[in-house]
A and B are shown apart, each in its own frame.
Chain A
Amino acid sequence: MKLGDWLDERTGHRAWARSIAEATVPGGARFAYAWGAALGVTLLVTAVTGVLLMTAYAPSSTTAWASVAHIQNKLPAGWFVRGLHQFGAQASIVLVVIHLAYTIVRGAYRRPREVTYWVGLALAGLVLAWAVTGNPLRWDQRGYWALRVETGIIGTVPLVGPKLQDLLLGGGEPGSATLTRLYTIHVFVLPLIVGALAWWHLRLSRKHGPALATPADAVKIDRWFPSQVARDLLVSVVVLGVIVALTYRGHGAPLDAPADPTSDYPARPEWYFLALYELRKPFHGALEPIATVVIPGLVFAFLAALPLLDKKADRGVPRRLTLLLPVGLIGLGAAALTLKSIRLDTADADLGKAVAKAEARAERATVLAKDGVPPEGALAMMRNDPMSRRVALFEQHCASCHRMGELAPADGKDTAPELTGFGSAAWAKRVLEEPDHDRMFGKTSFKGMMPSVTKPPEDPEAAKVFTPMAAADMAAIVGFLEAEARGEKTAGTQGEKLVRQRCTSCHRLDGKTDDEESLAPELRGWGSNAWIQAQIDDPGSGKTYPAGAMDPKLEGHMPAFKDKLPEADRKLLTAFVAEERSKKR
């Protein structure tokens, strides 16, 4: 007795193998049927790479990002596996659309294939749900904010919304409990349901065979293997080629900076939700659910109702135009909205800036993570990183009034002098020439207090007796200020002499001035680290400006940060501003 016979007696595997070998495709093999098969194969690739990723992924708010960064940057072929997984999922979404479009155009949902079609529609929704539950698992900015928006939308669904939202989040705010829930859905619940439904979908479609357009088609017949499998494989290989190409192009899948609930992140949905994102824009307030819930729900309901509406004996495309046109319009509308959204975002300069900033943060996070992430997690790593922290501090506490390089108030909202190049000769020269420029003191309470040394005053009488300062003198004063900022010796220099003659009528030098009432700042040590530190700690202490200059009665006075920020943060900001004086411009 041969082993094969022994086994067949117990398993009946030969009959099963024969049924596969002898399976036929009535009407002949076609590429049109390959889309569904390619979709199945691509989902399988996504599942296999998903299982691989599971071996290295750690779902919690302190470990998720770190483990994904580890996969992406440290593990052998990690970036490749991640890329296949993400682009495999996105390719699946594209294949769902193509497969569904073919089905609708061919009328393959008609009796007796309604259930096959409905199961397929359910699968389409589940594939999207799979993507939605997968993206936040990275716990990076993009995934986190997408999750916030999506669960927010779920919360607006009538009746079940709030309960469903709580169920997904595992609490009020996204956190570790959210990740474990999403992870459970993503790697266990959805694979089970999708697997079961996909198997049923496949069984049903085999049971009914292809929906042939004309009886004449039925004359031909092909073996499923190899004729149809060859076509299925060819399409699958092309799809895999695209996935691999995209993976190489982006070196895996993107990974943003770690999720930061307190940041202002320019959140945008993944490309396959851009149409819905754009659709929402005209609907505000109470009308919002029309775009987020009602319209998508109606579209889905319409697609599901197609088999019930399409009952005419004639199955030709022209006869079914009343149904096909709306479907085509929905597709065109979605494509148009997606393109519009991309166009609007590409043209949005502010968004471009915000995206560039987010990318810089992501790069920094990657660099830091190479040395290992502390047990407190990736966000703590970022917050304790001086390079990132000082930018965040400046944005939060300074950039609402001061401009410094890329960090700036909203257009025209500068209400304090620009700090770009503060402490440099160029800055000193500018304040001497145009103290009332909008980027200097023109928008502060000190406007009009300091005369320009080169421009005649507005008052015609005063203008008559005005003589511009000699260039050499101005250069000497600028040199003095620059030297003070750098902490170099200025005692006895021409610049110091000129400052004593020309500036101390209002300004203090070593605390002495002709006009004790004046609000002008101390020039000794101006722009130096100590001066900047004193200004941040308490601008009205007399070390920089006199108390009167920072009187709360004066509009837009600068607050003392010694009560607002810990010393370490104030030191970070001091060093940050002090770097400006030696920057090459």
Chain B
Amino acid sequence: MQNPGGDEAPRPEPTIEPSRSNPDRRTALRALVTLGGCAYAGVIAVPGAQFLAPSAEDGQGKARWIRVGRLEDLPQGEPRRLAVVGDERDAFNVTKDQQLGAIWVVREGEKVRAMSAVCPHLGCSIDIGADKKSFSCPCHTSRFSLAGAAESGPSPRAMDPLDVRVTEGFVEVDFKRFRLGIAERMEVG
């Protein structure tokens, strides 16, 4: 670090003072400084990790009842595909009256059974077979019985059932989404 021709007086050969070169002292200080540096980084890293962690609080486990149609419009025993329309939350935006998804419903007397139209395999939209005797997914040929049980193909579980209630003649469904591709049925927020 010499500066020939600089504005400074030529430096004598520096000598490291004994007090400054005590190896124990230096090792301790090095450890302390390293620890301090890690602590400093932690102050940023911990909230940073929290910030990036996806928030599971949004709507998970909360019932979200949405009207999907009139009971009297549903024929007995025949599966019908209904659109689920509601307010779509996407990060900071809320958009009114958006189609959130679709469900398959089967009327059984005065009761209604509902299943998500999302295939549990990889999320394609489940369709009714041509013979109306079973459901099938167009993407990877998963087949389900009219009760929703997985019969053939790659689907890891049965179609996802949804809670239904009938109020004032209207069919209402508790619309939820589930994690895909696994045998376990886990709700996603």
Instruction: Tell whether A55 is near chain B: CB-to-CB under 8 Å.
Output: yes
| Interface band, chain A | 35 or more
Q: Are A48 and B93 in contact (CB under 8 A)?
A: no
Q: Are B33 and A226 in contact (CB under 8 A)?
A: yes
Q: Are B48 and A48 in contact (CB under 8 A)?
A: yes
Q: Give the residue name and chain of the B residue nearest to A80 (CB).
A: B47
Q: Are B51 and A229 in contact (CB under 8 A)?
A: no
Instruction: Tell whether A494 is near chain B: CB-to-CB under 8 Å.
Output: no
Q: Which of B14, B37, B89 has the most CB of A within 10 A?
A: B14
CB B14 to nearest CB in A, in angstroms, measures 4
Which of B48, B53, B91 contacts A70, CB < 8 Å? B91
Inter-chain CA distance A111–B5, complex, in Å, is 9
Q: Which of B6-24 contact A (CB under 8 A)?
A: 6-12, 14-17, 20
Inter-chain CA distance A49–B48, complex, in Å, is 7
Q: Which residues of B contact A221 (CB under 8 A)?
A: 14-16, 20
Q: Give the residue name and chain of the B residue nearest to A53 (CB).
A: B51
Q: Mark A453-472, 1 if CB is under 8 A from B, else 0.
A: 00000000000000000000
Q: Give the residue name and chain of the A residue nearest to B11 (CB).
A: A218
CB A317 to nearest CB in B, in angstroms, measures 15
Instruction: Tell whether A211 is near chain B: CB-to-CB under 8 Å.
Output: yes
Q: Are B14 and A26 in contact (CB under 8 A)?
A: yes
Q: Which of A63-109 contact B (CB under 8 A)?
A: 63, 66-67, 69-70, 74-78, 80-81, 84
Inter-chain CA distance A55–B51, complex, in Å, is 9
Instruction: Tell whether B186 is near chain A: CB-to-CB under 8 Å.
Output: no
Q: Are B47 and A77 in contact (CB under 8 A)?
A: yes
Instruction: Tell whether A110 is near chain B: CB-to-CB under 8 Å.
Output: yes
Inter-chain CA distance A70–B92, complex, in Å, is 6
Inter-chain CA distance A443–B50, complex, in Å, is 62
Q: Give the residue name and chain of the A residue nearest to B17 (CB).
A: A220
Q: Which of B31-84 contact A (CB under 8 A)?
A: 32-33, 36-37, 40, 43-44, 47-48, 50-53, 55
Q: Give the residue name and chain of the A residue nearest to B39 (CB).
A: A237
Q: Are A212 and B8 in contact (CB under 8 A)?
A: yes
Instruction: Tell whether A222 is near chain B: CB-to-CB under 8 Å.
Output: yes
Q: Are A374 and B96 in contact (CB under 8 A)?
A: yes
Q: Are B3 and A76 in contact (CB under 8 A)?
A: no
Instruction: Tell whether A282 is near chain B: CB-to-CB under 8 Å.
Output: no
Instruction: Tell whether A31 is near chain B: CB-to-CB under 8 Å.
Output: no
In the A-B complex, list the 8 residue pairs whose CB atoms are closest, starting with the nearest. A372-B94, A70-B92, A218-B11, A215-B9, A77-B47, A221-B14, A209-B1, A66-B92
Query: 20 new A-B pairs (CB below 8 Å) besides A111-B6, A227-B29?
Result: A26-B1, A41-B40, A52-B48, A52-B52, A56-B91, A75-B51, A76-B51, A76-B55, A78-B51, A111-B7, A211-B8, A215-B9, A215-B12, A218-B14, A221-B15, A221-B20, A223-B26, A229-B33, A372-B92, A374-B93
